[in-house]
Amino acid sequence: MTKTLIIAEKPSVAQDIVRALTPVAGKFDKHDDHFENEQYVVSSAVGHLVEIAAPEEYDVKRGKWSFAHLPVIPPHFDLNPIDKNKGRLNALVKLIRRKDVTALINACDAGREGELIFRLIEQYATPAKGPLNKPVRRLWLQSMTPAAIREGFEKLRSDQQMLPLADAARCRSEADWLVGINGTRAMTAFNSRDGGFFLTTVGRVQTPTLSIVVEREEKIRKHVARDYWELRASFDAQAGQYEGKWFDPAWKKNDDAERRADRLWTQAEADEIAKAVLGKPAVVTEESKPSTTSCGALYDLTTLQREANSRFGFSAKTTLSIAQALYEKHKVLTYPRTDSRFLPEDYLAVAKDTAKMLATEDLPGPLGALSEHAAKALKEGYIKPTKKVFDNAKVSDHFAIIPTLQAPKALTEIEAKLYDMVVKRFLAVFFPPAEFLVTTRISKIDNKHHFQTNGKVLVKPGWLAVYGKDVDDEDANLVPVQPNEVVRTESVDVKALQTKPPARYTEATLLSAMEGAGKLIDDDELREAMAEKGLGTPATRAATIEGLITEKYMLREGRELIPTAKAFQLMTLLRGLDVEDLTRPELTGDWEFKLAEMEKGRLKREQFMAEIAAMTEKMVAKAKGYDRDTIPGDYATLKTPCPKCGGVVKENYRRFTCTGRSGDGSDACGFSIGKIPGGRSFELAEVEQFLRDRKIGPLEGFRSKAGWPFTAELALVFDPEIDNWKLEFDFGEDAKKAENDGEPVDFSGQNSLGPCPKCQGHVYEHGANYVCEHSVGEKVTCDFKTGKVILTQPIEPAQVNKLLADGKTDLLENFVSNKTRRKFKAFLAYDKKEGKVVFEFEPRAGKAPAKAAPARKAAAKKAAAKG
């Protein structure tokens, strides 16, 4: 009997498919790597199993960090297995090639990346001699409930329908490879021209995203605070006091973005107005207008990530992983990796059924309060066909994120927070607008000086009721005045203020900027118009931000994202080389738009790839042909004087150099140090400290010539031979050989600290690390290393001994977070799966059980505890 092989993206999804199909297709038998019955074989990948690579004749093994072999633009791509997933790949290949398997169903995630995962596996499994000749169909799932999975099998898509998406998926992957490999190798070669190794990664989406953050930081650094004054007056009316703010009714917007109608730019003018109005009568005019606000559209992934970051401080990556768990594990949300904020027009009945579930099910904890709003929406007939919610033209391959028909059972606190956000938005979007009465009161003195007071009263909460807002008399805080009443200016407060620079990006605002291809867009409609030209896709934006942090281009401090010196250096380089393609968010957004056009069958794959190849060639040619000594840029002048002559030290592209006491170089003493010692960029504050104290560290993030990371102190030492100061690494005489890769290392004078957890060789002290004897020297066969200093915490040999013997150290208390700069406690443990030393944290103390209480009080207490 012939069978159909179903390939899911993850094992958990394969199990869900088996559970959904069992009632209609019969019981499945479980095997090591698949499930099987008379009709189907069900297995899965674990994400990507293969990666694209240049064919052997185009692949550069040696000298890849030089210009000699660039650009690399192969005519086609080969596939290489990803080492850690080889077993799973081989099992799938065996199943695909089984003679009784005559058809395939792609059940990977419903999107560009899921399409690529399946297509590459299928390509890898195709024999060299010829095609598989096994028809492919596509299972497209928006929800993971059993009913939705069975419905998906009733509506399988043909392979022909999916070819445009497959083309876009391959183009995205190949374009990223071409730009990433060529750009990274070219910029690394350029930055390593003077010796050493300075890994400089660039990417098709990563670099324009970084450009957005760097440009904002440049504005912040260049901002010069300007003094201005505001006037606030208190007025005595018959019914009580109210406050008003001075403004100029004749003011109009101009090119000076810092000017406002309520700002005065000299203290003399502010004092003069204050003196003129104090104690004077004011004539009051008032206008009250009704106003309404509607709920925002349903959530797509980027909007959900932005709001979760603003409300809870969740990173984009955290929000995606929580949403994915609510979709895959709990089955309570629809597919989260979506860029649409609308539902299909035939989903009205589903929306009503979902509201019915929310109204009738016993939702856990604080979620229970949402039931009454769901019941009201049904009772009042709020859920009806409206273009604000149901619009086929605005549904891509996926629709907005909404709750499924499955009620949540056991959610963690953070899962419940995100689920609550989605449910509230789903209900609120159907409720009527909130109605306010907005009052604008003008108090005019001597028919010359104007003060404005605003009041806003919630008249009908509408959709705001879902968020706990109700009509509240406390909102009516504006004391009433009688028609034609004259009030008295009782007091005037002159406030001295300063203009502020633009705010740094948070993940919420950066996601918005990525969505609008560099334009920070708050308006929903405008943002929607730009959505198809965004940087990356909703599914990849979180990974892009995390990648920039991993590569040390950005730091997280609280909720702010701060670009590092390495980021500024990259932007200076790309601008100086005139490789603007890599820094312009709008252009990369345009590529994303073209990929979306390709998905719709409106653009040919060959045309897009030709454009990417041309851009890659231009980028490499610019870097290869640059022959000037420095790169033009906006460079700093240090506050700390030259250690040799006391002159002015200035930054250029590669170095910090003395320019003499004159500052123009005419009397320079020759002192200079490199900006990127050991492949790590100096931050400005660090180089100031280094010149002042003649030492700094230990610092992390250095790289040896072979690319190994290491930690070291830096010392500024006087060298009589050159009659000047120079920079040296200071990690002990015995360890200087750590820089001399490839030379034999003699450990005979040391006692072993224990067996290597990877290869059972001996572990010894070596330089700034504890290393396996087989990870250094002439023949390297192992890569086990761990630092003597980790996040400023010294790791004593006795702790390494304990780590190697027991699998983890004692609790160490002086780690300092790179992100928050705060101390934290952790164990160091060896993770066999990861193959490296990782942090392990103390288990949190459990909460005391709550006493029995009536149901409503218990729910309220639970809500307070979780909040």
How far from 608 is each of 113, 335, 594, CA to CA, in Å? 18, 29, 8
**Axis-axis angle for helices 159-191, 605-625 (nearest 10):** 0
Beta bridge partners of 838: 829
Question: Ramachandran region of residue 125, left (φ > 0), alpha (ψ -120 to 50) or beta?
Answer: alpha
Cβ burial of 22 (10 Å; 0-12, 13-18, 19+) is: middle
Q: What angle do CA 378, 380, 383 make, to 5 degrees?
A: 55
Calpha distance 830→809 (Å, rounded): 9
Is residue 670 a contact partner of residue 724, using CB atoms and an 8 Å limit? yes
Calpha distance 357→805 (Å, rounded): 54
Neighbours of 155 (CB within 10 A): 9
Calpha distance 589→605 (Å, rounded): 17
Neighbours of 681 (CB within 10 A): 23
Radius of gyration of the chain (CA): 32
Matching residue, tokens 């059940």: 107
Sheet arrangement for strand 3-8: 29-30, 35-36, 40-44, 3-8, 101-107, 136-138, 157-158
Is residue 799 a contact partner of residue 810, using CB atoms and an 8 Å limit? yes
Give 222's contacts (C-beta < 8 A, 6+ positions apart). Answer: none
Biggest CA-to-CA distance, the chain: 99
Is residue 337 a contact partner of residue 429, using CB atoms and an 8 Å limit? no
Neighbours of 774 (CB within 10 A): 18
Q: What is the SS3 string spanning 715-761?
A: EEEEECCCCEEEEEEECCHHHHHHHCCCCCCCCCCCCCCCECCCCCC
Question: Ramachandran region of residue 240, left (φ > 0), alpha (ψ -120 to 50) or beta?
Answer: left
Calpha distance 490→309 (Å, rounded): 44
Question: 72 in helix, strand or coil?
Answer: coil
Pick the closest to residue 6 from 31, 29, 30, 39 (CA basis): 39
- Catalytic residue, from 299, 335, 419, 764: name it: 335
Calpha distance 318→415 (Å, rounded): 10
Is residue 118 a contact partner of residue 13, using CB atoms and an 8 Å limit? no
Token pair in block for residue 833: 């799966």
Would you call the peptide bond into 698 cis, given omega within 30 degrees of 0 as the criterion? yes
Output phi, psi for 531, to 5 deg.
Answer: -55, -35
Output phi, psi for 117, to 5 deg.
Answer: -55, -50
Is residue 863 a contact partner of residue 365, using CB atoms and an 8 Å limit? yes
Calpha distance 268→558 (Å, rounded): 40
- What's the first-to-final CA gap in the chain, in angstroms? 57
Neighbours of 431 (CB within 10 A): 21
User: Do β-strands 240-247 and 449-460 pair in parallel, antiparallel, or remain unpaired?
Assistant: antiparallel
Q: Among this protein's residues, is 58 annotated catalytic?
A: no
Is residue 800 a contact partner of residue 765, using CB atoms and an 8 Å limit? no
Catalytic (active-site) positions: 335
